[in-house]
């Protein structure tokens, strides 16, 4: 049956429908279907996505970083959560980010919320539905945010997140002697034997070299594990170096026991304590 344009336009713009209610109903139906039912031990992926859009009339449009073009441009940004269970990737929730420039009172506007705030609201929606992820995966925009990581830990969530190479950490270089340095500085002084090769069984297999260290993060109590992931066995040959942080109580993690998804490409190998 065809849909008339004017009826669809009326439904989208004038009818008293609520996007959150529609999404909750979608998820209810999804759980009734064997192919889309949410299974235990899934990974919850938190991300944001931007789309270019001209003009200024649409709510939330403004100059901001747009991921699809890799630079600041005029557009919309949405914070999203979706799950990956080793086979399927399914969308869960979405919230629109309203940049301060798009609001009359800027950051003083009660509608203004930072992306980590929106992400926590989406995570809470997932938890309130009784869906607790085995691990929460986050990119550098969230992994570098200490207060956000603390909120995840308050919710007793295990996370793996990207962090910037200039993140300062306190690490024990020699027995009993701690030093504060940037992650890229730590990488530069690690010996080649500190890195262990791990084969990732992606559709296009690849090998990475991983070193981990227990570190202390300024502003956060206790230790976290930092993983340094390279595409070569030493720093001199590496053209890609990623830095990850996790609060997982890992004694020994391998490519088989850590998240191994094409969505993230993240892996931990805690062989260095």
- State whether 125 and 76 are in the same domain: yes
Residue 20 in any domain: the answer is no
Is the pLDDT at 5 greater than 60, yes or no? Answer: yes
Residue 135 near residue 44 (C-beta atoms within 8 A) = yes
How far are the Cα atoms of 21, 38, 83, 184, 262 from residue 89, in angstroms, in the given order?
A: 22, 10, 6, 32, 10
Is the pLDDT at 244 greater than 90, yes or no? Answer: yes
- Print the domain residue range for 236: 162-246
Residue 223 in any domain: the answer is yes
Is the pLDDT at 271 greater than 60, yes or no? Answer: no
- State whether 118 and 64 are in the same domain: yes
Query: For 33-40, what is the mean pLDDT?
Result: 87
- State whether 182 and 98 are in the same domain: no
Residue 181 in any domain: the answer is yes
Number of independent structural domains in the chain: 2
Residue 33 in any domain: the answer is no
Q: Which residue has the higher pLDDT, 133 or 39?
A: 133
The sign of the dihedral angle between the CA atoms of 250, 254, 260, 265 is positive
Integer-rounded Cα radius of gyration of the chain:
21
Residue 218 in any domain: the answer is yes
Is the pLDDT at 41 greater than 60, yes or no? Answer: yes
- State whether 43 and 124 are in the same domain: yes
- State whether 180 and 236 are in the same domain: yes
pTM of the entire predicted model: 0.84
- State whether 183 and 127 are in the same domain: no
Q: What is the pLDDT of residues 177-194, one digit of tens each?
A: 889 999 999 999 999 999
Residue 81 near residue 93 (C-beta atoms within 8 A) = yes
- The whole-chain average pLDDT of the chain stands at 85
Residue 57 in any domain: the answer is yes
- State whether 98 and 53 are in the same domain: yes
Q: What is the pLDDT of residues 68-120, one digit of tens each?
A: 788 888 888 999 999 998 888 899 999 999 888 888 888 888 888 999 999 99
């Amino acid at each position: 049956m065809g849909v008339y344009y004017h009826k669809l336009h009326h439904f989208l713009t004038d009818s008293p429908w609520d996007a959150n209610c529609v999404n909750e109903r979608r998820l209810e139906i999804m759980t009734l279907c064997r192919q889309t039912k949410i299974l235990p031990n899934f990974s919850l992926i938190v991300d944001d996505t931007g789309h270019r859009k001209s003009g200024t009339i649409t709510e939330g449009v403004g100059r901001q970083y747009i991921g699809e073009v890799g630079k600041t441009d005029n557009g919309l940004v949405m914070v999203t959560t979706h799950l990956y269970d080793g086979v399927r990737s399914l969308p869960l929730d979405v919230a629109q980010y309203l940049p301060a420039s798009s609001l009359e009172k800027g950051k003083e506007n009660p509608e203004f919320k930072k992306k980590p705030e929106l992400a926590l609201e989406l995570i809470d929606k997932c938890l309130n539905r009784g869906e607790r992820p085995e691990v929460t995966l986050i990119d550098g925009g969230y992994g570098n945010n200490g207060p956000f990581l603390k909120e995840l830990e308050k919710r007793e969530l295990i996370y793996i997140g990207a962090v910037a190479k200039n993140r300062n950490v306190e690490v024990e270089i020699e027995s009993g002697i701690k030093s504060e340095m940037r992650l890229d500085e730590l990488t530069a002084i690690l010996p080649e034997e500190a890195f262990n090769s791990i084969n990732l069984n992606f559709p296009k297999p690849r090998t990475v070299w991983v070193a981990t260290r227990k570190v202390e993060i300024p502003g956060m109590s206790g230790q976290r594990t930092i993983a340094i992931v390279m595409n070569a066995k030493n720093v001199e040959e590496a053209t890609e170096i990623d830095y990850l942080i996790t609060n997982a109580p890992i004694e020994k993690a391998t490519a088989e026991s850590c998240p191994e998804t094409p969505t993230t490409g993240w892996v931990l190998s805690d062989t260095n304590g």
